[in-house]
Amino acid sequence: MVEKTEHLVRSELRTPRAAAIAGILFAVLYSTSWILIRLSIPSDALEASDWLQQQAGNLSLAMSLIPFAGISFMWFMGVVRDRLGHQEDQFFSTLFFGSGYLYLGLTFASAAAIGGALMLYASDPGLQASGGVYSLALAISNRLNSVYAMRMAGAFMTVMGTIWVRTGVLPRWLALVTYLLAAVLLVSIGFTPWVVLVFPAWVLVISVAILVLNYRRTDEQEGPDGLSIAG
């Protein structure tokens, strides 16, 4: 009976302690993509007629990074949920998943608008001179990402801050910083497009914190010879 119990414990599916690196990957990939987009699209893009021809390569690279950033973000959500363990609450979990997946979906939709413009340009470059096709794609993409996706990101951060305050699975100061940055995303959209980078920066900090805590917890559970001493 003892051997059977030990076998079940050893075969249990566990979250890798390095899984929090997914959040770091998201922060790097998403930030790189966003910076490429902002540097590629001029401030007068709605009036200019030749910017897409000059920046198509950079925009294509940015669009190719977005799906991998999204996959990394889903792993990040899994890591955050794993930290909660048995303290997970159905109400807050619903808000957590809802805001997280809405953010991800809106981010993909924003990227798809620019990707669609690139496909149109590749199939018929002459459309660029015809007016509103690219202007509409840019306007939709900007609205989806900087307004709706960022507010979902702010809601996601608010939920996480509340969970961490109530459960204490992360330091309280991180929860307070999370509230502050969430307020920035919720109320300051429109002042500067670079505020979008607040969210990946926050994910980076949280991922590093979880990574450190995971390794520290593992080291505490192992004896001097690397054997588990947990009950």
Q: Give, for all 231 residues of the chain, the pLDDT tens digit.
A: 444 444 444 434 455 666 778 999 999 999 999 999 888 877 665 555 566 677 778 888 999 999 999 999 999 998 888 877 777 778 888 899 999 999 999 999 999 988 888 887 777 666 555 556 777 888 888 889 888 999 999 999 999 999 988 888 888 899 999 999 999 998 876 667 788 999 999 999 999 988 888 777 655 555 444 444 443
Q: CA 199: distance to chain centroid? A: 7
Q: What share of the chain is helix, strand, coil (3-state, %, to 5)?
A: 80, 0, 20
Q: Between the CA of residue 151 and those of 22, 96, 101, 185, 186, what are the distances in Å?
A: 22, 13, 13, 6, 5
* Distance set, CA 150 to CA 37, 72, 73, 144, 181 (Å): 16, 18, 14, 9, 11
Q: How far apart are CA 77 and CA 70, in angstroms?
A: 11
- Whether the pTM exceeds 0.85: the reply is no
Give the type of residue at 39.
L
Three-state DSSP class for residue 170: coil
